[in-house]
Structure 1
Amino acid sequence: MRAAPPSTASAGRALPQAAAALVLVLLLLVIVRLPWAGDLGMHAATVQRLRHSLLHPGNPLVDADTPSPYYSPWMLVLGCLAKLTGLSVFVVLRIGALVALGLLVTGVWRYVRTLSAHRAAPALALLSLVFLWGPLLFSWSGFLGLNSLALTVSYPSVFALGLSFHFWAWLTRALRDETGWEKWLGLGLLWALILLCHQFTGVVASLGALAMVIAARPGREVLLRLGAALAVGVVLLWLWPYYDFFALFSAGTDLEAIHRPLYDDLAGRFGLVLLGVAALGMRWRRDRWDPLVLFFLLGALMFAAGGLTGHYSWGRALPAALIPAQLAAALEVVSAGKRAVRTGWACVLGAALAVGAWTQVGTLGYVVGRDALPGAVSAKYREPWVGYQWITPWVKYGDVVMARTMPARQIPAYGPYTVAPGYPDLFLPDEARRDAAVTRYFAAGTSAEVRRAIVREYRVQWVVGAKGLAEPGLRQVATGPGEQVLYRVAR
């Protein structure tokens, strides 16, 4: 007997599921390539230090005995893996990326299941999270756009986001059902773990949790258990030995300056999310206590407050507004009342996702390379950083390299230190002095005597600089991309 043709409903489920599967395959292939950009060097350097000393790793970037917020529980696990297996740092980061991506996908699936039982809902949610952004390309750790994920999939932020979705799913079920004390205490530990692994994502996770608690309007007994969970989490934050979590609240102005660009080009970067805002309005009409609506409001308020007060680092809470809006846009396809409304919404969402996908289509270049891309797609590709593996035949672990800011963001990934950190460091007391020393060393009018004094003070063994760097105490050893030169410091 001839099988009946698939129903429209089955086809409607299969299409988003197939598209989501293709996205996951692309991200898996990206992990194989592991394109270098942004903070990858910082995280690689963190694993380097932990593989050499789990108990006293010191500063990950410069030769100083200071704590660092990058020594999170997740980085500690990866450091142990590197130490026990002898695998290279970049292989370990790829393994970490696989774990983080798995956590993220299963976390989205679990949390969306608390909001809708429709079989297509998780796939639609995943597609909205990665494509419903804007017509201008935007990449930043802690943000779930496809291009951001491709560049940050090995970062602790993706691991923390995966844990956050699991945290929200677990909390939602705990608020709905009768849950024992042990599960609530486990929620407290998970909350603290997210905050320790990536502090900004921990803020997003906390805002989401607050929205879910407000929406549930729990009774006195649940509030007591919630308080106990919060207390357990705070104790873990206080006891974490690798850095003082609560000292992060005193972060300086450097952190604000770095995050100022988060408030630029909002319409271009996030304009498609307005579709999700409209979906949130529809959910609010159906339920004044909808958790996604409350989540969005909390995130939007914190983001706006950061812009108005000059605390631009608060802009990292923006995913707390984006995620609920993106999820609402996806869920409206399966939860709107009339079939005609759902169909119309699906068409509008599909068009928006197509625009978002085209914006980020250059991500394909991280898998196949620019030369294999069609011209229109190749124009959207952004070349990743080259790296500094070319210095490793000479520069060894623990050597100190004099380099400017951009090289200093990559060189420690291979084991050496730099004189000044490539990123602001709250726990490094002489950071400003180190930055000034690097600036002075490379300044055109600096005398040879001053340069030699800087080299002696910071025990510099190598210099990475421009071709023709005029200094009697330097001997050219190797040439790298962009006519950079590695010099050995004469002793």
Structure 2
Amino acid sequence: MSMATRGAGLLTRRRVHGATALHGRRRWRPSPYVVFGGLFWIIMSLAFWRVPMCCDFGQHAAVVERLKDNLLHPRHPMADLPGAGSPYYSPYAVAQGVFARASGLAGWEVVKLAGPLNLLVLLTGLGRFVKVLTPRQWAPVLALFAMVVLWGTRMAWWSGYLGLMSMTGNLAYPSTFAIGLAFWAWAWAGSLAKSPRGAGAYAGLGALCGVILLVHPISSVAAVIGVVAFAASAKHPLPALWKWAVTAVTAAVIAASWPYYSVFSLVGDESVDWIHRQLYTEMPQRFWLALIGLPALALRFRRDRRDPLVLMFALDCAVVAYGWLSGHYTYGRILGLTLVPLQFALAIELAAPRPWRRWRMALGGVAATGAAIGFFTLQAGAVVPRALDPVGFDQPPRWPGYGWAVSQMRKGDVVLTNGYYPTRSVPAYGANLVAPAWPDASLAEDTRNRRLQEVRDYLSPDATRAERTRIVRRHHVRWLLLSPDQKVPKEAVVVAWGPRTGEVLARVSGGSAKASGGNTNRRETGNTNQ
């Protein structure tokens, strides 16, 4: 590149070397969020991978196994029953099933690989969302760390809760993917609120909301609330009202067109409310550190009565309160996202350029103290392995594995058990339960409860051999998985023992012809001599 200079009354040209020879192009430098977000992605992915299968992981792996077997007409995720109408068969799960069929990977392997992918969607969505709210470079970094440590001092472990400890278990769940998409939807809605565009942009946002609705219906409640908050925060919302209606209609059409289940049939479903009642217990202890962001949110309200984060927080609180007052405790599942406006408002305020005013310095000091309390009292064990832990932090749960048991089974075998761990883990490998552990819209709750009672009847010390045989034949039971204190029936043959739990795997003769083939008998005979 040459530069013109004036010297001795003449216009001359001088060759310039170095960085300015790049024809005006700047050298790319990663933003603080790219650096810290990338480091977080690596650390959290490793933390997630080191935690063995636990909690709902087995349920989601079982879903992939059923889709791998039959992509168009999968069976019930946990039992040898029809699966039509199960909300677990979402676009997210179907995509995993397609990948499992193409790659040949097992369901649990596919779910394990989904963790880092979901985290990537979450982190990119968070960065884009915060960028719509503020141009401050450090705001996304502070928002990320506020989101994962500013919770409370009592464990909040649930799908859709994004504390460090909870993320070690739920990164691979559909809820995490849906929340990542929700961040992208909020960023999209925020850009439309600032700069209205053609109807196509609103239809695209509606399609994204429809996908979120299908992937994780309860998270979609918070996602839609965020979109509504941004629509209401626009300077002139009424002229664009019909465009926002396009968003709503498109979302409804996308959701209604999904062939695997009807998402609208879940409205008013009370089958899982009893499970979610515990979400409303010990709420102050679980969430009090997030309230550090309340002054920042109040300041945003003072500046703008229609601030989107303020509207989002108010609407989220209203839905959570409705869940408590109505008894539909499932709505408490959005409690994790209810904290986002508090956490992000705090992050944006603390990302303001220096010099700070005294009140902001005080807020920063309180936030730093709260982050330290949250990390060291509750969250540190998520990312600090026990071998490197000098203090003894609480660690993520380490459930026992059941490879020793499923190695004796064939896919589709029916297992009778009432153990907490095996009922949530064994179906991940393709086995079926007599009684599913969780309610599912594809199975009448009365039927599930009847099956649970039959399992209790079979395992009762007072059960006769004739009663047990009737239950085994009715459900084609092939295996019993019993705790050490449960008596093995005389007609059952012990095959293996759990190396960690002492649980007993025993064979009974009630399986189908396919399940009782020669290959299975050969393996059982070999293990009987143990």
Q: TM-score, normalised by structure 1?
A: 0.92
Deviation, structure 1 residue 25:
2.7
**Is 1:158 matched up with 2:172?**
no
- Within 2, Cα distance between the matches of 1:59 and 1:454? 20
**Cα pair distance change 1:174/1:386, threshold 3 Å:** same
Give 1:319 deviation, angstroms: 2.9
Asked which structure has the greater CA Rg, the reply is: 2
Query: Hey, what does 2:15 align to over in structure 1?
Result: none
- Contact 1:142–1:200 at 8 Å: present in 2 too? no
In 2, are the aligned partners of 1:17 and 1:124 still within 8 Å (CA)?
no
Question: Aligned partners of 1:417 and 1:108: how far apart in 2?
Answer: 38
Matched, 1:397 2:415: no
How large is the Cα RMSD of the aligned pairs? 2.0
- More helix per residue: 1 or 2? 1
C-alpha separation between the residues in 1 aligned to 2:395 and 2:196? 50
1:7 is matched with none
- Which residue number in structure 1 is paired with residue 508 of structure 2? 489
Alignment equivalent of 2:392, drawn from 376, 395, 402: 376
CA distance in 1, matches of 2:268, 2:451: 21
> Residue type matched to 1:376 in 2?
G
State the 1:220 CA deviation. Answer: 4.3
Aligned residues: 473
The reply to whether residue 421 of structure 1 matches residue 468 of structure 2 is no
Counterpart of 1:260? 277
CA separation in 1, counterparts of 2:266 and 2:306? Answer: 33
Alignment-derived partner of residue 4 in structure 1? none
8 Å Cα contact 2:478-2:508 kept in structure 1: yes
- The match for 1:249 is 267
Q: For structure 1, which segment, 13-22 or 263-272, has the greater mean C-alpha deviation from structure 2 after superposition? A: 13-22
Show the counterpart of 2:340. Answer: 323
Q: SS state of the match for residue 87, structure 2?
A: coil
Q: What's the counterpart of residue 432 of structure 1? A: 449
Report if aligned partners of 2:57, 2:173 keep a CA contact under 8 Å in 1: yes
Code of the aligned partner of 1:482: T
Alignment check: 8 A CA contact 1:402 1:419 kept = yes
Cα gap change, 1:422 to 1:189, in 2 (>3 Å): same
Using the TM superposition, give the Cα deviation of residue 263 of structure 1 relative to its aligned residue in structure 2, in angstroms: 1.0
Give unpaired runs (5+ residues) of structure 1: 1-12
Q: Is the 8 A contact 1:16 1:127 kept in 2?
A: no
Give 1:372 shift.
Answer: 4.0
| Secondary structure of 2:272 counterpart | helix
Amino acid at match of 1:293: V
Q: Alpha-carbon deviations, 1:187-219, whole Å to 9, x = none? A: 111101111111111111011111111111544
One of 377, 383, 395 as aligned partner of 1:364? 383
CA distance, structure 2, for counterparts of residue 184 and residue 330 of structure 1: 29
CA distance in structure 1 between the partners assigned to 2:456 and 2:353 by the alignment: 60
**Are 1:190 and 2:200 matched, yes or no?**
no
Query: Which letter maps to 2:504?
Result: V
Query: Which residue matches 1:3?
Result: none
Matches within 5 A, 1:425-464: 425-429=440-444, 430-464=447-481
Q: Distance in 1 between matches of 2:346 and 2:402?
A: 43
Offset at residue 337 of structure 1 (A): 9.3
**Contact 1:208–1:320 (CA<8 Å) still a contact in 2?**
no
* 1:291 paired residue among 304, 308, 312: 308
1:440-478: CA deviations, max 9, x gaps?
111221111111101100010111013462312210000
Partner of 2:319: 302
Select which of 79, 83, 89 maps to 1:62. 79
Q: Give the Å deviation of 1:14.
A: 9.3
Matching residue of 2:515: none
Counterpart residue number, 1:387: 401
1:169 corresponds to 2:187: yes
Q: Is the 8 A contact 2:51 2:396 kept in 1?
A: no
Q: How high is the TM-score relative to the length of structure 2?
A: 0.85
Distance 1:432 1:210, change over 3 A: same
Does residue 179 in structure 1 map to residue 197 in structure 2? yes
1:355-414, CA deviations, whole angstroms, 9 ceiling, x for partnerless residues? 11112111135xx3x34422432xx12432123111122111111110115221111000
SS for the counterpart of 1:476 is: strand
- Secondary structure (helix, strand or coil) at the match of 2:505 reads strand
Query: Cα 1:14–1:427, aligned 2, differ >3 Å: closer, same or farther?
Result: closer
For 1:123 and 1:70, the matched residues in 2 are separated by 33
